[in-house]
Amino acid sequence: MNDETKPETRIAIASVVARTKKATAAMPAKMQGWWGGIQQWFAFVHHRRNDVRFPVFPSLLTLAEALAVLASAVVFLFFFVDPVVLEKLRQPGFEADPVFKFITRFGESAWVLYVTGIGLVGATVMTANRFRGKGRFLWHRLVLNAYYLFTTVAFSGLLANLLKNLIGRARPKFTEVGHVWQSIPFHDSYKFASFPSGHATTAGALAMGLALLFPRARVFFLLAGVWVAISRPALGVHFPSDVLAGFAFGAAFSWFYARAFARTRLLFEFDGRWGLKLRGAPGFARLWARKS
């Protein structure tokens, strides 16, 4: 626990710990060990000493500038690219390419959550106490990797779905002739869930997350994410502007989420004001500058 923690916070935490210990004591012996391991891990995650040298987010002015650039790009696509794509989709005989039908499956969040979720559940059985030395380090690294990827894909996806319902933009094939933008806010329907693209959000979040975890392969991960995003308008289920907004949102979410991890000295650490690098992995290349 941080030495700077307020007294009332310490009391609240102590109260929660006491109640949890009481509930754990009522469990069978095997369950106590299993549940105790989970408690210890989450205590380790959430009670780390903060690194306050650098901010997680940039200044409001910098954020506003970045959002203005993104909004300008989205508006450009809306006026000059979305109509062209819509016209092509409405041409007689349009049929989606099977290649893009395959590629787009990698933008589904379910498989990411299943794989990382199974890994996390498995880690509650094969706990760190079973390993020593490098094996213990590897266990912690794998668990933190799975935890980061699971939560960044899940949280960014939930926020994207919230925006979809809030905006309610009609998908290409459900727009009326002569209209590129039609929306019914708070319309919980597949037909009006185009902006931002959920698949593109997942692709952006996963691609950026993997690029941060495996920096030497970052170009390949980011390119793969871009192609997954491109598959959505290629299949006629999203406009290009939906895809750009979704991919940028997912990638930005993973980036700032990694900085939040660095703030608590988990998995990542700050490398200068805006740089990030993996903790405990001096052999890895820096995320945005290759080693010579």
Examine residue 285 and state whether it is found in any structural domain, yes or no: no
Examine residue 291 and state whether it is found in any structural domain, yes or no: no
Burial-class residue 46 by CB neighbours within 10 Å (0-12, 13-18, 19+).
exposed
Examine residue 287 and state whether it is found in any structural domain, yes or no: no
Can you give the C-alpha Rg of the chain in angstroms? 22
Based on the fold, state whether residues 81 and 202 are members of the same structural domain. Answer: yes
Give the separation between CA 252 and CA 234, rounded to whole angstroms.
24
Based on the fold, state whether residues 242 and 131 are members of the same structural domain. Answer: yes
pTM of the full structure:
0.83
Based on the fold, state whether residues 133 and 193 are members of the same structural domain. Answer: yes
CA angle 38, 40, 44 (to 5 degrees): 115
Q: Which domain holds residue 263?
A: 55-278
Phi, psi of 198 (to 5 degrees): -70, -40
Q: What is the pLDDT of residues 88-114, one digit of tens each?
A: 888 887 788 899 999 999 999 999 999
Give the separation between CA 145 and CA 124, rounded to whole angstroms.
15
Strand, coil or helix: 273: coil
Examine residue 157 and state whether it is found in any structural domain, yes or no: yes
Examine residue 191 and state whether it is found in any structural domain, yes or no: yes
Low-confidence ranges of the chain (pLDDT < 70): 1-46, 127-133, 281-292
Give the separation between CA 176 and CA 92, rounded to whole angstroms.
16
Based on the fold, state whether residues 59 and 16 are members of the same structural domain. Answer: no
Examine residue 286 and state whether it is found in any structural domain, yes or no: no
Dump strand ranges (E) for the chain. 268-270, 276-278
Q: Tell me what pLDDT residue 253 has.
A: 98
Give the separation between CA 275 and CA 259, rounded to whole angstroms.
9
Based on the fold, state whether residues 73 and 192 are members of the same structural domain. Answer: yes
Q: What is the pLDDT of residues 143-192, one digit of tens each?
A: 899 999 999 999 999 999 999 999 999 999 999 887 899 999 998 889 99
Based on the fold, state whether residues 4 and 106 are members of the same structural domain. Answer: no
Based on the fold, state whether residues 2 and 99 are members of the same structural domain. Answer: no
Structure tokens at 159: 């926020």
- Strands 276-278 and 268-270 turn out to be antiparallel
Residue type for 104, please?
T
Based on the fold, state whether residues 42 and 119 are members of the same structural domain. Answer: no
Examine residue 131 and state whether it is found in any structural domain, yes or no: yes
Based on the fold, state whether residues 79 and 145 are members of the same structural domain. Answer: yes
Q: Tell me what pLDDT residue 140 has.
A: 80
Give the separation between CA 276 and CA 187, rounded to whole angstroms.
39
CA angle 8, 11, 16 (to 5 degrees): 130
Cα dist from 51 to 55, 87, 204, 267, whole Å = 9, 52, 27, 13
CB 17 within 8 Å of CB 25:
no
Give the separation between CA 241 and CA 224, rounded to whole angstroms.
19
Give the separation between CA 225 and CA 208, rounded to whole angstroms.
8
Based on the fold, state whether residues 125 and 248 are members of the same structural domain. Answer: yes
Give the separation between CA 204 and CA 70, rounded to whole angstroms.
14
CA angle 281, 282, 285 (to 5 degrees): 95
Q: Tell me what pLDDT residue 38 has.
A: 66
Q: How many domains does the chain have?
A: 2
Based on the fold, state whether residues 147 and 252 are members of the same structural domain. Answer: yes
Q: Tell me what pLDDT residue 150 has.
A: 97
Q: Tell me what pLDDT residue 124 has.
A: 75
Examine residue 29 and state whether it is found in any structural domain, yes or no: yes
DSSP secondary structure letters along 7-42: HHHHHHHHHHHHHHHHHHHTS-HHHHHHHHHHHHHH
Based on the fold, state whether residues 84 and 25 are members of the same structural domain. Answer: no
